């Protein structure tokens, strides 16, 4: 997912304290997704949110 975001031009700030996960995050620069892969991942979008909507989040 990190690679997909990077190739779309999104800013990616992964977080981990687990050494193996940190290594995996760095390895995202060792490959690229082809157009078919990018399209397949993009097709997974269902336009729904799994967490609270920031536009409706009450900070008061």
* pLDDT tens-digit readout, 25-55: 999 999 999 999 999 999 998 988 888 888 8
- Reported confidence tier of residue 60, pLDDT bands at 50, 70, 90: low
Does this model's pTM top 0.75? My answer is no
Cβ contacts of 8-15, under 8 Å, gap ≥ 24: 8/38
Write down the H helix ranges in 1-60: 2-8, 19-26, 35-42
Residue 18 in tokens: 């687990």
Structure tokens at 54: 């920031």
Q: 42 near 33, Cβ under 8 Å?
A: no
């Amino acid at each position: 997912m990190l690679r997909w975001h990077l190739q779309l031009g999104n800013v990616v700030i992964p977080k981990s304290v687990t050494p193996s996960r940190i290594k995996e995050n760095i390895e995202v620069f060792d490959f690229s997704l082809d157009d078919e892969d990018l399209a397949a991942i993009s097709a997974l979008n269902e336009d729904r949110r799994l967490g609270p909507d920031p536009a409706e989040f009450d900070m008061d």
